[in-house]
Structure 1
């Protein structure tokens, strides 16, 4: 309420003074301008080991990527690295430090290619220019290796050009390119060696077949095919090798690195796509820079010395920013946290393209068979700015995951969260209110997704974690304003600021005003499409039953409920169209609470009353519909004609039964809290040395089937549980009995300690964070390098208190 009053007061002052009437809009525009400038360039091609593109430049993007392979033997080309692949079996890959506003450092250990690779990405302070420093050294110096690095650049779109400074192919150690595009303006790119020796052990096979020189080739590649750079390179190289063989040029083992240099044997005319290949002798380390400068910028990066200075500055700045946000004393834990956060931020990507949507397939909700979406149509193009769960396995936007990602990012860069939420919210359709649960935009993104999962359908929802996150943002803003009430100082907007939305509530107000109509449509779509069939329940539920506030997940099958996000978590067997899902009701409660908060900020009293009533109805329905007094927990329910009471509880103790507590829907004075604390802390059921299990060890479905959400520890849910324990019991729990409060403190302390100890152990041994953790051993399982919601361990280490 205070946040709303402060905003209303501020706006009233603006309106009262004619000379300042334009100030508010000017501040919003300046905030957006500085944000866009600081986030213009970054390695936004999340699916690449390293790939740069600009944000919000859709017609004329400059695309850059890096590839490498071992050129010392003919089979090395088969290990050409480009897209992040788990099957590459790299010993390590990922960011050690990173912030999309500043840059960072990525480290790669590629044993098969005998290469220790370090990539620094930095930007000028105005955000308009950038540089990449590529440094490499052998992992085993006793091997006579030759490492070939391939940089590709493409100026896409009509009216764009990218050409050699001298108008012809260059083979010098310094490559100079000049480019121009309507959206980017005029720019220059230089690629220049700093140290290292190009390969000279064997004789050159010809003037353009020489590993001792940089090979530069340009050609025309359609913009929607740039992502196939690896295939194009391999095809051209194969043709070149075949040409060498048929020409009868004598070759020996020492000539192989030269033979594996790309060249233009087909005499393609110069185009806007460029390959630049350098092959280094790994007898010593090597280093080269790629520097981009916009000609209109006042802060050009003029030399490699300036790149070195920017690397030094950015490294210090990144460490200082981390320390200012997270208090982690132990050096090993701190490194673990820094790298985990860096890789979450390093997974932020910008996507633009069409999506595949099936709007015509009708669901037979009484069959519960696997849904086949066989009538896809391309729609768009649209754009998305989003982090990804995993660069190797899920390099695309996930609605269900993204809210959890932003709960972590919020602790580091509050304003960045708004940019990402805004990108998602603006994709909500004006007429229907739908947004896809997966956003797979364009052919590059689709190339990483099995065909059966590429098509989206407007009937299928997901847990609305984005509204959970937005609700948290509003709560944080209100708490911040509460803390400075009466003594707030004016704060100026600066490009380096990451908390302007906390300091300046009118900026958050502006965003809320802009997206409220879309969020309202989305709320209506979500609750309308997932509303349950309640007619039969009306016969057995009388007092306190609100039939409009009962929900189920549309699209569940006999074995899976993918829309819930908890894919194989046990549900009613056999399925029934009239079953009601506890977690769907809980997420509807979060949506209603968030909409109430937004309406309150916007001073919409009628809307506040409406959503307050809906939220209260949902909380009452938790007890009326889903509370099982015998098992002392909330459960799914279904209609069973053979059951005496018609309503049958479907109780599988685990994440679903814990969700009303995890989402803070249980009243603080409820006597049911004691049962939650006992269940969470029960070592015979859910509590383990590695975290709270997804399903009770005593459940009949524990560890059955694919055992995805039937046992393993998931960090996103454990984070919610810790946060809720903090919410209900910090300070002892005012309305709880002493025994429950003491038990809650013990569960909180042990759970936090166990999660940190186990995840840090696995990271120390394997070098990665995982999708989930085995319920018996604690070892990482599922997708490797899953620095999506598993990155919430950073909050657990650096923000949540050690004890309640």
Structure 2
């Protein structure tokens, strides 16, 4: 009982209604709790505030850091050491015709070169703009280009106007410490049936603010220019007086450059001496050309061999040296920024229309030039790989310097750091180092050891940024996002521009050509690693095995009902361009525009376009010679309603709804039916490959190879004889040359087709 009462009393004590002490105690405890809660909340707020500030600072820093990576050079040592192009290191290549964008000019391989060039015009010409200088298709010349060029010692070029022709020959002579001497001979020849013309030749020399030039004028004629720069030391440029010859109506002009550092000169490189050295170099070129390509042993006529020499010489004579900064942009930066200033030594696709460097084109260029001079190709590839940034990215189009930028529309100048281009250099390396994967000569091993860190980062960049939605799939970034105006949004990054992809761009796309490029690249990386003793050979071998496995290709890209390899994406075939009225203010004239209309909703599916993309598993030789899918591809390739023509393989099946269709009102078809020589060259090489492997399709591959090669060579030679040019692409209905011209980039693979070198 006492215990019970005590508990009762305690309950009563706490239940007292007027127990002030009790109520006061409870209130104090509540206040302390509120104060504690407020303190906790205040502290939490301060912590959150500090964390927010720290997070903001970290995010700002990371965004700045990520934005900075696009213009930060790669951390590995450059493949080319500083000064690799100086006269003291590479004297034979120091001077050259490294200005492919002009009809004739020379410069050195240096950022601030002495620049020389030629301009001409007809006197009394009533048509404005008759001054010739920069190569331009609008000049409407009958033909121009190098007839012979060895890349080091000499070049011979012919330029045909309507009533006269010009020849621009040059010869270099080594010596001294600054690249030696060189001389030009420029001749104007009146055509026999042409109207007499008075032609003015304008020869110029300029510096980029370095050093001085001092002309010597006597009796109103410029005799010579004395000059000095830090790079060249002292020099003299002499201008010979024109001489008129009545027998062939030629007016030769000679220009001599003499370096002040040449101590013992055998005599001026002019007159008979010039003629003799030019003749010796031309004879050596002819011998070497036949030794490398062996065309005289393949029953070609003299004229056909001369066309091959011209095609090759125009690619080699179209190698340029550029210096400047690309304009690039990153999703982490608000505005485009300048890449670091850099040099690029590269061939160009077209002197008239594309006189600059293109990443995937250059891989094809070096398939030809590397057979002539492997050291040259290694240097070109090194220049490109030394443009690799900290992310492992190379801008796909190089527009370096004001002269190059002046030739490019504004919308193509800025390069995005998530945009790729086909990594053709891996194919080039496989071709130019046939022993890759085994023991190589020490010089080749040394080059690959220097290049490997950059090749590795470049390869990893593709795997990181161009991966697809499914394991082991790939997707090109950079597709046009505007679906209201484009019949099929373009994919410039793939190199195939307007080739039909999924009609509605999305992150779910899978692109078969990129998968094939990456499979092939992984195999080359494995072989390089094996040849130079790198420990990463296993990871590349495993990836190559997975990507090139036919089961993987089938799972991701084989459309059974179409019997073809295809892209996958959000797609509808029922799209078309229609013209619609545009609302205008009252009283204004009516206006219309062309827009895209989708007649049937899109859905995830294979893109039913048979064309170049469908051939890539065969083109890059990933299919087994016994694969039934190889047989299906060969049969479709030979179908005249699909790709086969008497002139080569068209880029898109004639039966496809987008065949030769415009992409917008002002955007004509490009890769939608016309013949492109680079892909036809890959096709010929693949057919040649399968024709030498046992399998049920060996005879079919042999027959198709012989027919395709014959059709291609015959048509390109015919069009050259007819028009005077190698062309960007060719009509699939007539074989006529189309697009920019001369296009002596990958269309010059004609030489390798003639030589059967793949």
TM-score (norm 2): 0.78
1:306 paired residue among 237, 259, 273: 273
2:418 paired residue among 436, 459, 471: 459
1:729 aligns with 2:660: no
Note the C-alpha offset of 1:92.
1.2
On the 8 A contact 2:405/2:413 being kept in 1, the answer is: yes
Q: What's 1:66 paired with? A: 118
Q: What's 1:426 paired with? A: 386
SS at structure 2 position matched to 1:432: coil
1:591 aligns with 2:643: no
1:564 aligns with 2:528: no
Distance 1:797 1:171, change over 3 A: farther
1:522 aligns with 2:444: no
Per-residue displacement from partner, 1:200-255 (whole Å, max 9, x unpaired)? xxxxxxxxxxxxxxxxxxxxxxxxxxxxxxxxxxxxxxxxxxxxxxxxxxxxxxxx
1:612 aligns with 2:541: yes
> What aligned pairs does 1:19-30 form with structure 2 within 5 A after superposition?
none
Distance 1:86 1:128, change over 3 A: same
1:533 aligns with 2:484: no
SS at structure 2 position matched to 1:292: strand
Note the C-alpha offset of 1:627.
1.6
On the 8 A contact 1:570/1:652 being kept in 2, the answer is: yes
On the 8 A contact 1:145/1:283 being kept in 2, the answer is: no
On the 8 A contact 1:460/1:555 being kept in 2, the answer is: no
> What aligned pairs does 1:248-267 form with structure 2 within 5 A after superposition?
none
Q: What's 1:179 paired with? A: 227
Rounded Cα–Cα distance in structure 2 between residues aligned with 1:344 and 1:513 = 28
Q: What's 1:252 paired with? A: none
On the 8 A contact 1:358/1:457 being kept in 2, the answer is: yes
> What aligned pairs does 1:31-50 form with structure 2 within 5 A after superposition?
36-50=90-104
Distance 1:85 1:171, change over 3 A: farther
Q: What's 1:191 paired with? A: 239
On the 8 A contact 1:404/1:465 being kept in 2, the answer is: yes
TM-score (norm 1): 0.74
Note the C-alpha offset of 1:800.
4.1
On the 8 A contact 1:549/1:614 being kept in 2, the answer is: no
On the 8 A contact 2:182/2:269 being kept in 1, the answer is: no
1:444 aligns with 2:403: yes
1:632 aligns with 2:603: no
1:326 aligns with 2:293: yes
Distance 1:714 1:172, change over 3 A: same
Rounded Cα–Cα distance in structure 2 between residues aligned with 1:379 and 1:170 = 47
CA RMSD of aligned residues (A): 2.8
Q: What's 1:215 paired with? A: none
SS at structure 1 position matched to 2:322: strand
Rounded Cα–Cα distance in structure 2 between residues aligned with 1:598 and 1:133 = 46
Q: What's 1:411 paired with? A: 371
Rounded Cα–Cα distance in structure 2 between residues aligned with 1:299 and 1:702 = 65
1:578 aligns with 2:514: no
Q: What's 1:54 paired with? A: 108
Per-residue displacement from partner, 1:297-345 (whole Å, max 9, x unpaired)? 3564624132122211121111111111122232221111111111111
On the 8 A contact 1:529/1:554 being kept in 2, the answer is: no
SS at structure 2 position matched to 1:130: strand
Rounded Cα–Cα distance in structure 2 between residues aligned with 1:378 and 1:64 = 28
Rounded Cα–Cα distance in structure 1 between residues aligned with 2:571 and 2:350 = 41
1:713 paired residue among 675, 685, 690: 675
Note the C-alpha offset of 1:460.
0.9
Rounded Cα–Cα distance in structure 2 between residues aligned with 1:312 and 1:398 = 34
Rounded Cα–Cα distance in structure 2 between residues aligned with 1:45 and 1:596 = 38
Per-residue displacement from partner, 1:366-405 (whole Å, max 9, x unpaired)? xxxxxxxx93333332110000000000000000211111
Note the C-alpha offset of 1:663.
0.9
1:777 aligns with 2:730: no
Distance 1:609 1:171, change over 3 A: farther
Note the C-alpha offset of 1:553.
3.4
Distance 1:140 1:585, change over 3 A: same
Rounded Cα–Cα distance in structure 2 between residues aligned with 1:690 and 1:728 = 21
1:342 aligns with 2:313: yes
1:145 aligns with 2:197: yes
Q: What's 1:296 paired with? A: 261
> What aligned pairs does 1:614-693 form with structure 2 within 5 A after superposition?
614-620=543-549, 621-638=552-569, 648-693=605-650
Q: What's 1:552 paired with? A: 476
Note the C-alpha offset of 1:33.
8.4
User: Is there any run of 5+ residues in structure 2 with no aligned partner, and where?
Assistant: 1-78, 484-488, 573-599, 663-667
Q: What's 1:797 paired with? A: 754
On the 8 A contact 2:119/2:131 being kept in 1, the answer is: yes
Rounded Cα–Cα distance in structure 1 between residues aligned with 2:625 and 2:571 = 33
On the 8 A contact 1:463/1:587 being kept in 2, the answer is: yes
SS at structure 1 position matched to 2:90: helix
Rounded Cα–Cα distance in structure 1 between residues aligned with 2:168 and 2:441 = 38
SS at structure 2 position matched to 1:391: coil
Rounded Cα–Cα distance in structure 1 between residues aligned with 2:737 and 2:259 = 44
On the 8 A contact 1:144/1:283 being kept in 2, the answer is: no
Please identify runs of 4+ aligned residues in structure 1 that moved more than 6 A: 29-35
On the 8 A contact 1:341/1:794 being kept in 2, the answer is: yes
Distance 1:604 1:140, change over 3 A: same
Distance 1:284 1:302, change over 3 A: same
Distance 1:671 1:32, change over 3 A: farther
User: Is there any run of 5+ residues in structure 1 with no aligned partner, and where?
Assistant: 1-24, 198-280, 363-373, 482-503, 535-546
1:353 paired residue among 324, 328, 341: 324
Rounded Cα–Cα distance in structure 2 between residues aligned with 1:422 and 1:189 = 33
Rounded Cα–Cα distance in structure 1 between residues aligned with 2:206 and 2:345 = 21
Note the C-alpha offset of 1:139.
2.5
2:169 paired residue among 117, 120, 141: 120
Aligned residues: 628
Distance 1:624 1:50, change over 3 A: same
